Amino acid sequence: MSETSPAPARSVERLFPFARRARLLIVGREQLRRSKSRLHFLLVTRDLAEGSRAELLADFAHYPIVQHYESADLER
- Per-residue pLDDT of the chain (76 residues), as tens digits, is 556 666 667 788 888 889 889 988 888 889 999 999 999 999 999 999 999 999 999 999 999 999 999 988 877 7
Q: Is residue 69 part of a domain?
A: yes
Residue 50 lies in a domain: yes
67 located within any domain: yes
Range of the domain at 44: 32-76
Residue 22 backbone dihedrals phi, psi, to 5 degrees: -85, 0
Any domain includes 17: no
Number of domains in the chain: 1
User: How far apart are alpha carbons 53 and 49 in whole angstroms?
Assistant: 6
- What is the pLDDT, as a whole number, of residue 27? 86
Q: Tell me, yes or no, whether 10 lies in a domain.
A: no
pLDDT at 74: 76
27 domain residue, yes or no = no
Q: Is residue 63 included in any domain, yes or no? A: yes
Residue 20 maps to a domain: no
Per-residue pLDDT, 6: 67
